[in-house]
Amino acid sequence: MPTNKRRRRLVTTTILAALTVGALAAGSTAAGAASVRPLRSVSVRDPLDTGDAIADLRSASVAVSRDRRYLTVSARFEQPTSPTSQNWWFGASLPRPGITWGLNTDPASTEWQRIAEFRADPVMGAYGYVAKYVSGTPRLVCRANASFDGTTYRLRFPVRCIDSPERLRFSAYAQLYHDSGEGIIGGDYAPDFGRFSGWLPLR
């Protein structure tokens, strides 16, 4: 135990300093934990159909990044194929084959206000974009980063591409062609036609 005033002051100062540092560290940790928001996502599933497995859309999702700045849409098929080598990703006429995520931000509407589309061909490889419907016609809003890891097809783009709404819901549609490049083999929705996923909060 300290036996004089000087030693008591030193001990008291040391204890206060230690307590202050500990409190700041704890506060910093708590603030850091609070600033790391959990990743949010919403997904839909579709039952195994009896058609061609190459165009059988099994699941799809939309996720928002932790900083709420980017959206990633994804989809899986029963039998995934490379979007850069197969003719069924190329087609011979419009509409182009690929995957479409129809985005809705209005609870009173059942329409797709915006779409995110995954497209590909043997020359260009995988690519994507976001479009907004204007008088029933899709108008390009921004490009999206497209990728395929052997299992999942993904597009990533800024939330501002869809005007940064408070929330959104979606449905997905897949359409691929026969290996000859002519004749559609797919036309599959997830969930069913006319239905949407649950709501994904974006803020």
pLDDT score for 154: 97
What is the domain range of residue 112?
A: 40-201
d(CA 203, CA 100): 24
Give yes or no: residues 57 and 28 share one domain.
no
Domain count across the chain: 2
Q: 112 or 183: which carries more pLDDT confidence?
A: 112
3-class DSSP state of 35:
helix
Q: 203 or 187: which carries more pLDDT confidence?
A: 203
Is the pLDDT at 28 greater than 90? The verdict is: no
pLDDT score for 181: 63
Q: What's the DSSP call for residue 177? A: B
Give yes or no: residues 21 and 50 share one domain.
no
Q: Which two tokens stand for residue 45?
A: 């599933």
Give yes or no: residues 107 and 79 share one domain.
yes
pLDDT score for 89: 83
d(CA 151, CA 80): 6
Q: What is the mean pLDDT of residues 28-44?
A: 59
Is the pLDDT at 29 greater than 60? The verdict is: no
pLDDT score for 111: 93
Cis preceding linkage at 95, omega within 30? yes
Give yes or no: residues 81 and 124 share one domain.
yes
Greatest extent of the chain over all pairs of C-alpha atoms, in Å: 96
Residue 148 β-bridge partners: 153
Q: Which two tokens stand for residue 10?
A: 């030193």
Give yes or no: residues 131 and 151 share one domain.
yes
Lowest mean pLDDT among 39-43, 48-52, 178-182: 178-182
Count Cα neighbours of 141 within 13 Å in the Cβ-side half-sphere. Answer: 21
Residue type, 56: D
Give yes or no: residues 110 and 28 share one domain.
no
Q: What is the pLDDT of residues 112-171, one digit of tens each?
A: 999 999 999 888 889 999 999 998 889 999 999 999 999 999 999 999 999 999 999 999
Lowest mean pLDDT among 16-20, 80-84, 121-125, 179-183: 16-20
Give yes or no: residues 88 and 162 share one domain.
yes
Q: 200 or 85: which carries more pLDDT confidence?
A: 200
pLDDT score for 75: 97
Q: What is the pLDDT of residues 67-122, one digit of tens each?
A: 999 999 999 999 998 988 777 787 666 677 899 999 999 999 999 999 999 999 88
Closest CA to 202 of 151, 165, 160: 165
Interacting residues of 47 by C-beta distance below 8 A, sequence separation 6+: none
What CATH number did the domain enclosing 134 receive? 2.60.40
Give yes or no: residues 7 and 96 share one domain.
no
Give yes or no: residues 176 and 86 share one domain.
yes
Q: Are 188 and 49 in contact (CB under 8 A)?
A: yes
Quote the pTM value.
Answer: 0.78
Give yes or no: residues 187 and 110 share one domain.
yes
Give yes or no: residues 124 and 191 share one domain.
yes
d(CA 79, CA 174): 13
Give yes or no: residues 25 and 107 share one domain.
no
pLDDT score for 148: 96
Q: Are 168 and 131 in contact (CB under 8 A)?
A: no
Burial class of residue 83 in the structure, from the number of CB atoms within 10 Å of its CB (0-12 exposed, 13-18 middle, 19+ buried): buried
